[in-house]
Amino acid sequence: MEDDSKIVTLTWIEDKPGPSVNDCSLFPEVPDSIWKALGLENGVPSSMSCFLIQTEGKNILFDTGLGAPFSQLQSKLSAKGLTSDSISYIFLTHLHGDHIGGMMKDGQVVFPNAQVFVNRTEAEAWKNMPDGKGDQATAILNAYKDRLHKFEAGDTLDYEIISIPAYGHTPGHTVFQIDSILIAGDLMHGVALQTQYPEYCARYDMDKDAAIEARKRILQYAADNSLTLVGMHFPPAAKE
């Protein structure tokens, strides 16, 4: 008999109410001919999302959304009978504001019981960002410092969650694998474009060559192993 405690349940949480469309200008190197061929002249369907995994009686968040007035993370958790106190783990794909903003409200920690995991390279990079660009990330990591765990690329973490380096979008951008699910963070900002043309980057990718390599590698890994690939800017149809 299958042990029900080992079952992994994935819930997509659309933090920003949709529908969302990324303008073609976000991908400045893509020629008009490709947009036309794909039928995407008016933009690429997207979202601003995070994910809840439930396994072995634990509630695990992957990223926490923007923490903006419109954010739906808390209401979506409430709809599942959960509160912020119910979250035991937070795994961060990277430290952009739309992925960590939900961790703080009015200067206070939102998830008081959560153990927080972040790639060490990512944490160190944002601590040293110039011109105050890393201030939000540093403040949030400091607020959770008593429960902060910095891992190395490729480490297997709690609940057999595998960290897979996907550097390029940010210095320590990380994909997480749990069971047959790949949570790909910001591997792609335009799924309808980049699954077919992974060589094209969004403006947000900090190291474009590394981002392209990571995108091609992860897409191939998912295909080779019949994995379910989800991401924080995938449109709803790509998650259902």
Q: What single-letter amino acid sits at 100?
A: I
Task: Answer whether residue 238 shows pLDDT above 60.
Answer: no
| 102 exposure class (CB count in 10 Å sphere: 0-12, 13-18, 19+) | buried
φ, ψ for residue 2, nearest 5 deg: -70, 135
pLDDT tens digits for range 212-237: 999 999 999 999 999 999 999 999 97
Across the chain, mean pLDDT equals 96
Is-above-0.75 flag for pTM? yes
Residue 1: what pLDDT?
A: 37
Instruction: Place 3 in a pLDDT band, splitting at 50, 70 and 90.
Output: low
Rounded average pLDDT over 11-21: 96
Closest C-alpha among 86, 95, 33, 42 to residue 64: 95
pLDDT digits (tens, 9 = 90+) for 115-158: 999 999 999 999 999 999 999 999 999 999 999 999 999 999 99
User: Which position has the token pair 């019949």?
Assistant: 226
Q: Is 153 exposed, middle or buried (0-12, 13-18, 19+ CB in 10 A)?
A: middle
Tens of pLDDT along 157-197? 999 999 999 999 999 999 999 999 999 999 999 999 999 99
